[in-house]
Amino acid sequence: MTATIDRIETFIVDIPTIRGHVLSMATMKTQSVVLAHVRFSDGSEGWGEGASIGGLSYGPESVESIKAAIDSYVAPVLLGLDGNRIAAASALTARMVKGNHAARAAVETALWDGLGRRAGLSVAQLFGGRVHDRLPVAWTLASGNSQTDIDEAERMLENRRHRDFKLKIGKRSVKDDLAHVGLIARAVGDRGTIRVDVNQAWSLSDARYGARGLQEIGCVLLEQPVVRDRVGDLKALTDGYEIAVMADEVLQGPADAMRVAAERAADVFAVKVCQSGGLAPAAEVIAIARAAGIGLYGGTMLESGLGSAAALQLFATVPEMTWGTELFGPLLLVDEILAAPLRYDDFSVYVPEGAGIGAEPDSDKLDFYRRDRARSVGA
Instruction: Please report, as ranges, the residues that interact with ligand MUC according to CB under 6 A.
Output: 53, 140, 142, 168, 197, 199, 248, 299-300, 302, 326
Q: Which does 53 bind (CB under 5 to 8 A by kind): ligand MUC, Mg ion, none?
A: ligand MUC
Q: Out of Mg ion, ligand MUC, none, which partner does residue 177 contact, by CB within 5 to 8 A per kind? A: none
Q: Find the shortest distance in angstroms from Cβ 44 to Mg ion.
A: 35
Q: Which of residues 193-222 bind Mg ion (CB under 5 A)?
A: 197
Q: Which is nearer to Mg ion, 149 or 223 (CB)?
A: 223
Smallest distance from ligand MUC to CB 199, Å: 5
Sequence-ordered strand ranges (E) for the chain: 5-22, 27-40, 45-51, 134-136, 139-141, 164-168, 193-197, 221-223, 244-247, 268-271, 295-298, 344-345, 348-350
Our answer to whether residue 168 is catalytic in this structure is yes
Question: Are the C-beta atoms of residues 33 and 10 closer than 8 Å to each other?
Answer: no
Segment 231 to 270, residues that bind Mg ion, using CB under 5 A: 248
Is residue 45 a contact point for Mg ion (CB under 5 A)? no
| Main-chain dihedrals φ then ψ at residue 136, nearest 5 degrees | -60, 145
Q: Which does 97 bind (CB under 5 to 8 A by kind): Mg ion, ligand MUC, none?
A: none
Residue 124 carries which side chain, given as an amino acid letter?
Answer: A
Instruction: Tell me whether residue 262 is exposed, middle or buried, using C-beta atoms within 10 angstroms of its C-beta: 0 to 12, 13 to 18, 19 or more.
Output: exposed
**What is the largest distance, in Å, between two alpha-carbon atoms of the chain?**
62
By CB under 5 A, how many residues form the interface with Mg ion?
3
Least distance to Mg ion, CB of residue 282, Å: 15
Q: Which of 168, 175, 235, 272 is the catalytic position?
A: 168
Name which of 38 and 274 has its Cβ closer to ligand MUC.
274
d(CA 285, CA 88): 19
**Which of 30, 75, 74, 19 lies closest to 54, judged by CA?**
30
Task: Report in angstroms how near the CB of residue 324 gets to Mg ion at its nearest.
Answer: 14
Question: What is the distance between the alpha carbons of residues 181 and 166, in angstroms, rounded to a whole number?
Answer: 10
- Going by the DSSP 8-state scheme, the letter that residue 331 receives in this structure is G
Which residue's Cβ has the minimum distance to ligand MUC?
140
Q: Which residues bind Mg ion (CB under 5 A)?
A: 197, 223, 248
Give catalytic residue positions: 168
